[in-house]
Every structure is written in C-alpha cells, then in structure tokens.
Amino acid sequence: MKSCCASVIRAVNADDTAKMTESDTIHLRGLDLPVRIGVPEDERAAWQTLEADVSLRPGVRFEEMHDDLALTADYAAVALRLRSLAAEKPRRLIETLAAEMADCVLKEFGAAEVGVELRKRILPGCDHVAVRLSRKA
C-alpha cells in the first residue's frame, strides 16, 4: 500500500477541486483504502483498493490555532480511521462509502466541512470511476 501524502494548503479561489467554502483546508490526497465493494457478490468477496482524496476544514482558522494540535484535525488519525471504516464491512456502492466517510469526518473530527472523492479502478479501458461529495456540519 502506498503511503498517504497529506498536505496543508491554502486554497486561493472558489474553484478548488474539493469545492470547500473557506480557505483554511487540510487535504489528504491519494489515501489507499482496503475495501470489499461491488454490486456482484463475487466482487465484494475479494479485497480491493480504492483511492480517496479527503479535504476538511477545521472549525478554527489556521492562524487561530497557535500551533496547538487540539485545535485542528490530526490528519494521521483521520487517515487511520477512514481506512478502518472502509475495511469494516462489505458494501455494494462507492457512493455509500463516500457518504459514510464524510459523516465520520464531520462527527468524529469536528470538521466544519468535508469533501470526499473516491476512485475505483474497475472498468477495462477506463482509468477509474469516481464519486465526489461535500458536506457541512
């Protein structure tokens, strides 16, 4: 499994890929998720890897954090929790998992807003199928 590259960046406009409404956003890009997912039962029986991009906006602006981890989201903990959530049970739809992930980040990590994109490499001749959503607390 490749490692997740997490970076904290300042968005410069409303066209940010995660469609977040505020500029102080934490991004986890290319997070590998172990899953059993798919419509056919035999597809769900085998483990596969989805790739996720997760963007979250803490409830506090970066300059108000004063270097205090308690005021932000611990992105290592977010990554670990989302991997655990993805592996918990089989699902038929990537849409279901994306919604569960967004709900988890909002409820468990106190984010004001979250964006999730999931990518699944499943169709021949197609790089990936993706779903994207954003939610506010």
Residues assigned a catalytic role:
120
Tokens of residue 133, six digits: 């959503």
* Cβ pair 18, 111 in contact under 8 A: no
Phi and psi torsions of 90, nearest 5°: -70, 150
Question: What kind and span of H or E run contains 132?
Answer: strand 129-136
Q: Quote the CA–CA distance of 99 and 36 in Å, as a whole number.
A: 16
Q: Outline where DSSP puts E strands in 37-128.
A: 48-57, 113-120
SS3 36: coil
Q: Quote the CA–CA distance of 127 and 120 in Å, as a whole number.
A: 9
